[in-house]
């Protein structure tokens, strides 16, 4: 059986046998048969924008693998920095490689004092941390103008390093600025997750002592968020990167895409939803309102997963460990009941709506003390290596500038009408 599909243009009777390669068909073959005819696919529900070797998603069976390694194994055995290395360079590092990588990240956590004092303190007291983070990431491009030299692998490595190492520093400053508290400097004696918690919570003690259970839970959550193939924000990173903009500008754009409640902003929206429901008695009426089209079940549904998001299962396991330290979230029982009701209701089952990564993460973040407006900031820190791995891959692929076509549905040509004749 040939791995081809035959397309016939009935207007001309001409046909073309199009090869099916790795589950896709090249648009170029169709263009030869029907030049000037475009495949219309708003939201890219059925369009592959690229080939990629980084992350493999099987939405039907709920499978997620980074460079072939199952997410369950990475969450159990790996660390976020090791996963960053894996996503970026394709292999798990050996001891020497890991030591060098951790050193490079650890010793680039500081930001320029102008960023700290003038830029971050310049925001209004109630500025949303995501707006601050997105702006600060873009501002980093002004501190490192050499980042425009995207063709130099050594230069790319340096900028990749800075974006992964400085993310938590900027994120913690955004939080501390909102409280009017002094910024904490990075502590190079701590691990990546521990250092972030230290910059967030350290007050006057000589050295912050993070709870190991909470630090490990945060590290695992960062692993779970590290990449997810061509999601909205990663596609943004690749599209902006395809114009050969510097990586800070591309990452700022990706941060903006992640900010939306349909994407990374969902973890914050889930808590608002659970607080709005407020009690067991309100769950059924709320579910009925969603089924009536009066809103969405935030933290449910996914463009790719038509089964349980494998990350949500791991997050749920982590929640139990965190709650042993922090005390159980008062919203957990409502979340569990809401999941139980939704998973047994035909409206959600018929639409393959299951909990996604955002459904339970917010409960953990809130129990660890993070305010709601920091949740998507945490997602940004986690997703940064995935964005950078895809940015680097698209440059190595020699990807053309992203420039989709459109189907024009506006008015036909017409002549200009002077103002006094309208
Ligand atoms: C992330 O892409 C990624 O990989 C994203 C992500 C990542 O790691 O990068 O996994 C992270 O963004 C997870 C998703 C977080 N968002 C939410 O939890 C927000 C709530 N979910 C949705 O709005 C929605 O499910 C999306 C945005 C996630 C997916 O939207 P799609 O694929 O465009 O689906 P759709 O809007 O076309 O919905 C299909 C049907 C519709 O019903 P009908 O018109 O057929 O009657 O399902 C319904 C929708 O109304 N539906 C929901 C629903 N999601 C879809 N109904 C109720 N509650 C929901 N959450």
Q: Which of 225, 228, 302, 390 is catalytic?
A: 302
Q: Which residue's CA lies nearest to atom 15 of ligand 1?
A: 263
401 located within any domain: no
Same domain, 183 and 146: yes
CA distances 299 to 184, 263, 348, 356, Å, are 33, 10, 13, 5
Same domain, 110 and 181: yes
132 located within any domain: yes
Under the phi-then-psi rule, with left for phi > 0, alpha for psi from -120 to 50, and beta for the rest, what region is 57? beta
Same domain, 241 and 293: no
Q: Work out the angle at residue 250's Cα, subtended by the Cα atoms of residues 246 and 256, and round it to the nearest 5 degrees.
A: 150
Same domain, 253 and 277: no
What's the pTM? 0.95
Cβ–Cβ < 8 Å for 109, 195 = yes
Classify residue 355 by its DSSP letter. B
Helix (H) and strand (E) counts for the chain? 18, 5
Same domain, 327 and 304: yes
Q: What is the pLDDT of residues 33-76, one digit of tens each?
A: 999 899 999 999 999 999 999 999 999 999 999 999 999 999 99
Distance 389 CA to ligand 1 centre (A): 25
Is it the case that residue 102 has pLDDT exceeding 80?
A: yes
Range of the domain at 353: 266-368
Distance 369 CA to ligand 1 centre (A): 28
Same domain, 286 and 354: yes
Is it the case that residue 12 has pLDDT exceeding 80?
A: yes
Q: How far apart are CA 92 and CA 331, in angstroms?
A: 38
Distance 267 CA to ligand 1 centre (A): 13
Same domain, 255 and 338: no
Same domain, 225 and 315: no
Check which CATH number belongs to the domain holding 276 and give it.
1.10.230.10
Q: How many domains does the chain have?
A: 3
Is it the case that residue 402 has pLDDT exceeding 90?
A: yes
Per-residue b/e over 38-54, b at no fewer than 16 CB within 10 Å?
eeeeeeeeeeebeebeb
pLDDT band for position 30 (50/70/90)? Answer: confident
Give the residue, out of 71, 235, 265, 301, with the most ligand 1 atoms within 8 A of its beta carbon, to mutate for a pocket test.
301
Same domain, 270 and 248: no
pLDDT band for position 330 (50/70/90)? Answer: confident
What number does the ligand 1 atom closest to the CA of 301 have? 25
């Amino acid at each position: 059986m040939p791995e081809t599909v035959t397309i016939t243009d009935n207007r001309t009777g001409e046909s073309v046998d199009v090869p099916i390669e790795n589950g896709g068909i090249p648009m170029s073959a169709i263009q030869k048969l029907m030049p000037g005819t475009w495949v219309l696919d708003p939201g890219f529900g059925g369009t592959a924008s690229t080939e990629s070797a980084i992350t493999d998603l099987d939405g039907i069976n709920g499978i997620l693998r980074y460079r072939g390694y199952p997410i369950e194994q990475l969450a159990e055995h790996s660390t976020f920095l090791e996963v960053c290395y894996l996503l970026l360079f394709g292999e798990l590092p050996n001891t020497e490689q890991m030591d060098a990588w951790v050193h490079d990240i650890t010793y680039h956590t500081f930001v320029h004092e102008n960023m700290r004092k003038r830029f971050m303190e310049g925001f209004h007291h109630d500025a949303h941390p995501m707006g601050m983070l997105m702006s600060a990431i873009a501002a980093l491009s002004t501190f490192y103008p050499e980042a425009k030299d995207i063709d130099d692998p050594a230069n790319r490595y340096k900028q990749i390093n800075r974006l992964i190492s400085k993310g938590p520093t900027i994120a913690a400053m955004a939080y501390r600025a909102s409280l009017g508290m002094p910024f904490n400097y990075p502590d190079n004696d701590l691990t990546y997750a521990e250092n972030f918690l230290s910059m967030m919570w350290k007050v006057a003690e000589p050295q912050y002592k993070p709870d190991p259970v909470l630090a490990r839970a945060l590290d695992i959550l960062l692993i779970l968020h590290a990449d997810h193939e061509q999601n909205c924000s990663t596609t943004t990173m690749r599209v902006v990167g395809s114009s050969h903009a510097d990586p800070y500008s591309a990452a700022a754009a990706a941060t903006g895409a992640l900010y939306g409640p349909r994407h990374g902003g969902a973890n914050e929206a889930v808590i608002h939803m659970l607080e709005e429901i407020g009690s067991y008695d309100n769950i059924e009426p709320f579910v009925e309102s969603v089924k009536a089209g009066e809103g969405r079940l935030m933290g449910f549904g996914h463009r790719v997963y038509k089964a349980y998001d494998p990350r949500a299962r791991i997050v749920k396991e982590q929640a139990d460990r965190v709650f042993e330290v922090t005390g159980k979230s008062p919203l957990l029982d409502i979340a569990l009941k809401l999941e139980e009701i939704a998973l047994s209701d035909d409206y959600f089952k018929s639409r393959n709506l299951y909990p996604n990564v955002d459904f339970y993460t917010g409960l953990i973040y809130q129990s660890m003390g993070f305010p709601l407006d920091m949740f998507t900031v945490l997602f940004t820190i986690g997703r940064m290596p995935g964005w950078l791995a895809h940015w680097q891959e698209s440059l190595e692929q020699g990807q053309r500038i992203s420039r989709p076509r459109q189907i024009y549905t506006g008015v036909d040509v017409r002549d200009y009408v002077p103002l006094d004749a309208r």
